[in-house]
Amino acid sequence: MHERHLKTSSDRAPDAASGTRQSAALFLRTSPESFRQTALAKAERDTVALPCAMSDLLCLAEHLQKAEAVLIGAGAGLSTSAGYRYDGPVFEQNFADFIARYHFTDMYTAGFFRFSSLEEHWAYWSRHIFLNRYCPIPKDTYAHLLKLVQGRDYFVLTTNVDHCFQRAGFAKDRLFYTQGDYGLWQCSVPCQNRTWDNETQVRAMLAEQQDRRIPSGRVPFCPVCGAPMTMNLRSDASFVEDEGWHAAQARYRDFVHRTADKKVLLLELGVGGNTPGIIKYPFWQMACRNARSFLVCLNLHEAFCPPELKGRSLCLAADIYAVLCALTDLLANRASAL
């Protein structure tokens, strides 16, 4: 669907000697595997042994098994439970030079910083993209979730931009990423509703950057109008909703329409309060309208839903990873006992 190769004004091969430069060597200390290990070590310490009461787990298992369809709504908390963090050791190891210069505290706030040059902007962003989009997912949270819905009639609505669902093997035609993807660029104007895959260029930017700057020849520009490229992330009205975005939206609407009166399990995972109008409120409305549905809100810190859904909902303030592991174990044991 997306263009695989974006020709830039200097689309040359990475310099093999660049790894010996001090700044590149500093950054490349974090290989994909060491990224995984560092994030995992922190995540393991956060994991709770017993995530919730057995009665809640059994309730969840029962509604999952008898559901005719499962609609997953996933927010940032799901990727946090998969080991992703915007602060902590991974951030400190890979942005030490930016932290020393600008006193950044985490990747979230740093993502809003306005750099004085595009060379520095992309030195920062290539690391941000690589860590969150192209390194392996630290924990198998998404894989556990896939086990629970594979072979079922399911759909995923998510505000996450790290592409974890697709990376974990979820069917592409059952996903709707509403807020963009770290792996895509768009024209900053934008001159058209089109996006471009950025992996090749991001890897080259990583290999060739030094002193917090990429080479000027690596700065990406729109191949149509020549304006600078920018991230395909929704932050204002210039966000590009391309052909793939609209197709996913149509599939999501179709799923909601054809399951409107079915026994639907609405599974809200790690949805915070930043953009409740995308997942949380529509899920509440669907649950209120469809008396055969059941809503589960799984969130470490903010597990709640309207009182009108009492008796048709389950709110669990627990670690998502721990709950999904316990649930897959429970269902596997139950299946083997039959």
State the binding string over 150-189 for Zn ion (x if CB under 5 A, else -).
Answer: -------------------------------------x-x
State the binding string over 203-222 for Zn ion (x if CB under 5 A, else -).
Answer: -------------------x
Asked if 54 touches Zn ion (CB under 5 A), the answer is: no
**Residue choice 41, 100, 225, 247 for contact with Zn ion (CB under 5 A):** 225
- CA–CA distance from 214 to each of 6, 121, 305 (Å)? 17, 9, 47
**C-beta closer to Zn ion: residue 60 or 229:** 229
* Alpha carbons 44 and 145: distance in angstroms, whole number: 18
Report, in Å, the least distance between residue 204 CB and Zn ion.
Answer: 21
Report, in Å, the least distance between residue 227 CB and Zn ion.
Answer: 5
**Residue choice 61, 191, 315, 330 for contact with Zn ion (CB under 5 A):** 191
Asked if 224 touches Zn ion (CB under 5 A), the answer is: yes
List own/partner pairs for 140-143 with CB under 8 A and 24 or more apart.
140/82, 140/168, 141/78, 141/81, 141/82, 141/83, 141/320, 141/321, 141/324, 142/78, 142/82, 142/167, 142/168, 142/170, 143/168, 143/169
Asked if 3 touches Zn ion (CB under 5 A), the answer is: no
Contact between residue 123 and residue 214 where contact means Cβ atoms under 8 Å apart:
yes
For residue 302, what are the contacts with CB-CB under 8 A and spacing of at least 6? 272, 273, 317
**C-beta closer to Zn ion: residue 150 or 235:** 235
Q: How many C-alpha atoms does 11 have within 13 Å on its Cβ side?
A: 12
ω into 190 cis (within 30 of 0): yes
Report, in Å, the least distance between residue 97 CB and Zn ion.
Answer: 31
Report, in Å, the least distance between residue 219 CB and Zn ion.
Answer: 14
Q: What does the binding site for Zn ion look like in residue numbers (CB under 5 A)? A: 187, 189, 191, 222, 224-225, 227
